[in-house]
Amino acid sequence: MLTATCLGTGLAQAEDLLTRTAHALRELPRTATHATTVGGALALLAAPPDRTPRGRPGPRRAAAALTELRPAARPGTGTVCLVRAPGTPLSALTRVAYAYRGPEAVVLLRPPPYADASAPAADAVLAALTDLGGPLVLGAFCGGGERAHALAGQLVAAGSRPPGVVLTGTATPAGTFAHTLEAVVRRIR
């Protein structure tokens, strides 16, 4: 167990170390070969995971609404977009991103700062989702279901390929949710 008290550092440093460790543990099985050295494995701890959003940044509000939790293994593999509802703990969606084993990027769509779907910020989010490339799956715990469904309808109305939509209960374990997302991505390819 890692705590900020044991480290003698602040919470931000402990959180950074946990993020780097989780990234290393997730990436090592995907990147290691028979020639990987201990130094190569430890190099995964040297820098935080790349969280640069993919695709066109779009207007500032769209960039602020989408956060990459995990990059794609290769370009064009697609994206799983986790739709965060107000009140959903960020940690619940982060656990889903870490449990997800497919090659697709995993991005987080934050709760909207706008009152309705016709606002300019909503248009910017739709443009950013359209530009991600490859198959798109929207995933949400039950509180984000209405928003995920509305986004899917707006994407189709804008001429995009229909995204997959996965809704689950708040008590669903991260691994189960991630496995369901992987299955839906395989079906819509």
User: Where do the domains of the chain lie?
Assistant: 1-49, 51-188
Mean pLDDT, rounded, for 161-175: 92
The pLDDT of residue 53 is 38
51-188 topology per CATH = Rossmann fold (3.40.50)
Q: Is 76:134 a contact under the CB 8 Å cutoff?
A: yes
Using DSSP's 3-state secondary structure scheme, residue 127 falls into: helix
Mean pLDDT, rounded, for 88-93: 88
Residue type, 98: Y
Mean pLDDT, rounded, for 36-54: 60
Cα–Cα distance measured from residue 68 to residue 61, given in angstroms and rounded to the nearest whole number: 15
Q: pLDDT-based confidence at 30, cuts 50/70/90?
A: low
Q: Which residues contact 164 (CB under 8 A, 6 or more apart)?
A: 135, 136, 137, 138, 184, 185, 187, 188
Q: Which residue has the higher pLDDT, 127 or 156?
A: 156
Mean pLDDT, rounded, for 28-43: 72
The pLDDT of residue 163 is 94
Q: pLDDT-based confidence at 80, cuts 50/70/90?
A: very high
